[in-house]
């Protein structure tokens, strides 16, 4: 369902046209739609993304993507690094900010939306220039904003050749026509996180950033708010009915997303002793099998 479909369904169910309704103008139902979308994402963690941040030698903190909700894995130079707090770092070493080397841990500054590295990196992210099969460097074209790289110099039949690559591992950012594209080959800071979806806009073709089968939940969320509002449409029995439908899709999203799996896997030694809660259940001896008649 796109935004136009959702508006049409709302009008068919309620009889209210958002284009001229005094109770439910489009701005109001759009706010309810984005509220439902954020609620679904934060409750189920269905939207997971990854980004590579470009590290600069001597720089300790970096801006996080604006859509980060919860970070569950961070790697530096393709190796996982562990989370820590600034309080623990200060307790460990009052001059921790002065240490530099290969980062082994990271901390989060959620007020300023930043991620910091300990130790402070002493090298800058390295790249290699992307080339086509003839060795010609690739450059960004006008539609590179969606991850397409244009190389018209050696394309067959004089047409532009398009190559799709992972935009998060490319520098510079797409959108600069003619800029060389470089791929990260070392010392990149990669973050894996649950993301907040992009907001729905007034564009009727705008498709919510949610699995297509779950998009009716946005409509149900709007209807819950509409029938709860103090208007002639208010009906709490209808609210209860749409709440059941909304929770049903939310629960399906929880089951189908990776949010139900552990974020950090505990690694233990195979020779570890039994835990205390297992010891009482261990038999003192194994009795011999009884002999039959």
34-80 pLDDT, tens digit per residue, is: 999 999 999 998 888 888 888 889 999 999 988 899 999 999 988 99
197-217 pLDDT, tens per residue?
A: 999 999 999 999 999 999 999
Report the C-alpha gap between 138 and 149 in whole angstroms.
7
Q: Reduced to 3 states, what is the DSSP secondary structure of residue 32?
A: helix
Comparing C-alpha atoms, which of 92, 74, 84 is closest to residue 108?
84
Structure token pair of residue 73: 């894995």
Q: Which residue has the higher pLDDT, 244 or 170?
A: 244
Q: Are strands 120-121 and 114-118 parallel, antiparallel or unpaired?
A: unpaired
CA of 228: how far to CAs of 3, 46, 59, 238, 272, in Å? 22, 27, 51, 9, 56
First CA to last CA across the chain, in angstroms? 74
d(CA 217, CA 232): 24
Instruction: State whether residue 49 is helix, strand or coil.
Output: strand
Q: Where does the chain have alpha helices with state H? A: 3-14, 26-44, 86-92, 216-228, 236-256
Q: Is the pLDDT of residue 128 over 90?
A: no
Q: What is the pLDDT of residue 114?
A: 94
Looking at residue 145, what is its pLDDT? 32
* Residue 5, Cβ density class (10 Å: 0-12 exposed, 13-18 middle, ≥19 buried): middle
Q: What is the pTM of this model?
A: 0.66
**Ranges 105-109, 179-183, 244-248, 276-280: which has the least confidence:** 276-280
Q: What is the distance between the alpha carbons of residues 267 and 290, in angstroms, rounded to a whole number?
A: 41
Burial tier of 187 (Cβ tally within 10 Å: 0-12, 13-18, 19+): buried
Residue in this structure with the two tokens 């009727």, named with its chain if needed: 204
Give me the sign of the Cα torsion angle 69, 75, 76, 82.
Answer: positive
Question: What number is the average pLDDT over the span 189-204?
Answer: 91
Looking at every residue in the chain, the average pLDDT score rounds to 77
pLDDT tens digits, one per residue of 129-161: 666 555 666 555 444 332 334 344 444 443 333
DSSP E strand stretches across 110-233? 114-118, 120-121, 126-129, 139-140, 148-151, 161-164, 170-171, 182-186, 189-195
Determine the Cα–Cα distance for residues 52 and 42; give it in Å rounded to an integer: 22
DSSP 254-278: HHHSGGGS-SS-----TTPPPPTTT
Integer-rounded Cα Rg, in Å, for the chain is 27
Residue 184's pLDDT band, with cuts at 50, 70 and 90, is: low
Residue 222 pLDDT more than 80? yes
**Does pLDDT of 265 surpass 80?**
no
Taking residues 157-186, report their average pLDDT. 46
- How many of the other CB atoms lie within 10 Å of CB of 281? 7
Could you tell me what percent of the chain has a pLDDT over 70?
67
Structure tokens that stand for 36 in this block: 């439902």
Report yes or no: 100 and 158 within 8 Å, Cβ to Cβ.
no
The residues with which 82 forms a beta bridge, in sequence order, are 105
């Amino acid at each position: 369902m796109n935004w136009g479909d959702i508006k049409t369904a709302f009008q068919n169910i309620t009889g209210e046209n958002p284009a001229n309704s005094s109770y439910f103008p489009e701005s109001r139902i759009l706010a309810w739609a984005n509220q439902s979308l954020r609620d679904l994402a934060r409750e189920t963690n269905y939207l997971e993304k990854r980004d590579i941040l470009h590290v600069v030698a001597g720089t300790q903190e970096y801006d996080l993507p604006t859509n980060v909700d919860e970070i569950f894995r961070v790697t530096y130079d393709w190796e996982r690094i562990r989370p820590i707090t600034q309080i623990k770092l200060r307790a460990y070493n009052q001059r921790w900010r002065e240490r530099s080397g290969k980062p082994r841990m990271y901390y989060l500054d959620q007020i300023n939306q930043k991620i910091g590295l300990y130790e402070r990196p002493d090298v800058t992210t390295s790249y290699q220039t992307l080339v086509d099969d003839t060795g010609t460097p690739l450059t960004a074209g006008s539609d590179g904003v969606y991850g397409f790289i244009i190389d018209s110099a050696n394309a067959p039949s004089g047409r532009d050749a398009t190559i799709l690559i992972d935009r998060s591992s490319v520098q510079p950012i797409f959108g600069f026509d003619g800029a060389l594209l470089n791929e990260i080959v070392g010392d990149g800071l990669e973050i894996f996180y649950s993301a907040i979806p992009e907001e729905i806009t007034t564009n009727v073709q705008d498709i919510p950033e949610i699995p297509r089968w779950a998009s009716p939940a946005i409509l149900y969320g709007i209807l819950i708010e509409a029938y709860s509002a103090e208007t002639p449409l208010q009906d709490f029995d209808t609210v209860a009915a749409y709440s059941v439908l909304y929770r049903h899709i939310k629960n399906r999203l929880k089951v189908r997303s990776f949010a139900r799996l552990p974020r950090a896997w505990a690694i233990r030694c195979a020779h570890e002793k039994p835990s205390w809660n297992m010891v009482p259940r261990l038999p003192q001896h194994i009795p011999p099998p009884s002999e039959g008649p």
